Amino acid sequence: MSTQFPDDFKCPISLEIMSDPVILSSGHTFDRVSIQRWLDSGHRTCPITKLPLPEQPCLIPNHALRSLISNYTLVSPSKSQPCSQPQTLVSALTSPSSPIGTKLDSLSHLAGLTKRDSSLRRKLTESGAVPAVLKFVDSEDPVLQEKALSLLLNLSLDDDNKVGLVAEGAVNRVVKILRIGSPDCRAIAATIITSLAVVEVNKATIGAYPDAIPALVRLLIAGKGREKKEAATALYAICSFTDNRRRAIDCGAVPILINLLDLGLERAIEVLGLLVKCKEGREEMMKVNGCVKVLVKVLKNGSSRGVQYGLFTLNCLCNYSEIFCFEARKQGVLGICMGLVEEENEKIKRYLSNLVQTLSGNHAIG
């Protein structure tokens, strides 16, 4: 099964598809189970670079890659016809005289081939096929549009392609799909935003598009389950860039995310964990009735990652406002924290200690 996925999706240690990719301080990504086993064996060097690591290495979740892997099988191309040679498919795709049915077949086959062949992804972008793919993204035919988006997503997987795709005008097309596409197309479009935002410079470029962040926020409101999740993931990816946090807040993202978190979309707490870092975000969160109760629910019922972001968000808010701090005490947050003292996750332990100190007037956990 793993041979059907790009090599970038495989853990360098296990060579299996990653289920929980995390980034080491060396900049390389590994599956959490594999790298944790490496560290538990006493190693304090990166398995790839051999560079030394801190005594307590920090494993940073690679949310963008995790989302791409989890959604990859959802954009599978048609397998009803035998596959032609890649160059023939590219020629059919870019030729003005090719019938629309031939172009659709070419898109489908190329989407299948580029899923597992990184060299073909590079050749395809170098061949000048990207403008043709983007043209089909603009198509009014939803089937043609979805196939083109699937191919565009595959092309965006290579870091070397990401900046070039943005320069070719991919963001403008993708944002349009976020606004008016079909549900499946909107979900793929949001995933493309996540993929493109892996490159730091693209975060600023995407956020600067007038309707990019508003379109993602609208998708949080109007989208179905998968669309909401992918929109939240895309916001998380681009909001690590400070200016984009304010743009999301200005679009009204905070109350929407708190409501989605209350309804069970845990990815929302990760976005809130970024927005709480700026004053405007904290002020908006304090305006939402029941915000503390929703965050407390995350501490009680959330995953390890959800608890981590919940603790961080609560501590930022309690440090900012004595009123919020009083409400957190009233909701029994100190007691909940004491129930988490045995947690082994390093970030949870650190955020837990910080929050307890804040709530108890700087008295650390005993």
Tell me the per-residue pLDDT of 109-145, one tens digit each, with 9 for 90 and over.
898 888 878 888 888 888 888 998 999 999 888 888 9
Nearest to 186 by CA among 223, 157, 160: 223
Task: Find the CATH number of the domain harbouring 26.
Answer: 3.30.40.10
Instruction: Answer yes or no: is 287 within a domain.
Output: yes
Instruction: Answer yes or no: is 55 within a domain.
Output: yes
Check pLDDT > 80 for residue 74: no
Q: Where are the beta strands (DSSP E) in the chain?
A: 21-23, 29-31, 60-61
Instruction: Answer yes or no: is 297 within a domain.
Output: yes
Instruction: Answer yes or no: is 179 within a domain.
Output: no
301: how many CB neighbours lie within 10 A of its CB? 12
24: how many CB neighbours lie within 10 A of its CB? 23
Concatenated DSSP letters of 228-245: HHHHHHHHHHHTTSHHHH
Query: Burial of 203 by CB count in 10 Å (0-12 exposed, 13-18 middle, 19+ buried)?
Result: buried
Task: Kindly report the pTM of this predicted structure.
Answer: 0.76
Instruction: Answer yes or no: is 358 within a domain.
Output: yes
CB 57 within 8 A of CB 39: yes
CA distance 206 to 193: 8
Residue finishing a domain among 75, 92, 126: 75
Check pLDDT > 70 for residue 279: yes
DSSP 83: P
Total number of domains in the chain: 2
Once rounded to an integer, what is the mean pLDDT over residues 328-348? Answer: 88
Task: Find the CATH number of the domain harbouring 335.
Answer: 1.25.10.10
- When pLDDT is cut at 50, 70 and 90, the band that residue 72 belongs to is low
Q: Which pLDDT score, from 0 to 100, does residue 222 have?
A: 94
CA distance 124 to 365: 57
The proportion of the chain whose per-residue pLDDT surpasses 70, expressed as a percent, equals: 94
Query: Burial of 363 by CB count in 10 Å (0-12 exposed, 13-18 middle, 19+ buried)?
Result: exposed
Beta-bridged to residue 45, according to DSSP, are 52
Q: Which sign does the torsion angle of CA 79, 84, 85, 88 carry?
A: negative
Instruction: Answer yes or no: is 80 within a domain.
Output: no
224: how many CB neighbours lie within 10 A of its CB? 12
Instruction: Answer yes or no: is 165 within a domain.
Output: no
Instruction: Answer yes or no: is 280 within a domain.
Output: yes
Domain with 334 in it: 253-365
23: how many CB neighbours lie within 10 A of its CB? 16
124: how many CB neighbours lie within 10 A of its CB? 24
Give the lowest-confidence range in 23-27, 76-80, 103-107, 132-136: 76-80
Beta-bridged to residue 103, according to DSSP, are none
Two tokens, residue 139:
């198509």
Check pLDDT > 90 for residue 255: yes
Q: Which pLDDT score, from 0 to 100, does residue 84 have?
A: 53
Nearest to 151 by CA among 116, 110, 102, 191: 110
133: how many CB neighbours lie within 10 A of its CB? 26
CB 204 within 8 A of CB 88: no
Q: Which pLDDT score, from 0 to 100, does residue 340 have?
A: 87
Residue finishing a domain among 75, 93, 115: 75
Helix and strand numbers (H, E) in the chain are: 22, 3
Residue finishing a domain among 53, 75, 97: 75
Q: Which pLDDT score, from 0 to 100, does residue 254 have?
A: 98
Nearest to 68 by CA among 179, 194, 159: 194
